[in-house]
A and B are shown apart, each in its own frame.
Chain A
């Protein structure tokens, strides 16, 4: 008698879980290291700042003017909206952006931070 008994549906469930693990691995961790990370800050459809996040020695604080006042913090490999006096705080709550394709947006102030990488594989997966 075998110790572990599996039925046909069990194999299906295990296959689905393993496939999901693989999918998550490719989507979220695949591009975490290596490659360039460039953060772009866009306001009113115009590029305001372009920051290379790889090897950023000391943290960078950028003030964003406009209808509402916001500060963006950039560190080695990551960037986020640090503070905002906009009403909903969606941008701040988005947290750190660390991988190409990630976006944080403040709609009231028409400001977007996004991270661009060397290739757009992530974008394809995300669609």
Chain B
């Protein structure tokens, strides 16, 4: 009996692709902890959301299923490396709500929305999901007050990661490396 997790080249390719995306997303979410955004805006929960670049990449070039897998696995691994169970609940609720909204917007990509808009929507949904989960965990609806500041920064960080994504995806498409 041979121990095999996947049987053919297509599956091998997919495992490598997903593995790369997950590790990249995880690395980005660790790296962005080096940027102390909290010093500029002293507020809990503010971050660049660089991992969303990978989520959008997975969503647009591989589909919702891939983006879902990448998001969920990234959240679990992140919780093991630096978070914990609370962080897991917060990142999952934020990440999945963000993915849901971005998946809804995806059909309008390139016609109505650029990656900037999708990224802002994702960042905002991420904040809403996180705050809703925080309110649930704390049993206090008062945390919703944080949402106004978080949504304002979501526009800025969303455009930032969106612009990064536009530059990156454009380059990848031109380079011919995006043979999927």
Contact = CB atoms under 8 A, between A and B. Distances in A.
Interface residues of B, number: 29
A108 interface: no
B96 to A, nearest CB: 19
A99 B166 CA distance: 43
B140 to A, nearest CB: 4
Interface centre among A12, A29, A93, A99 (most CB of B within 10 A): A29
Interface residues of A, number: 31
A6 interface: yes
A28 B147 contact: yes
Interface string A25-53: 10111001000000000000000000000
- Secondary structure of the B contact surface, majority rule: helix
B116 A5 contact: yes
A7 B155 contact: no
A18 B154 CA distance: 9
A9 B112 contact: yes
B108 interface: yes
A38 B124 CA distance: 35
A10 B158 CA distance: 11
Nearest to B151: A21
B113 A7 contact: yes
A6 B117 contact: yes
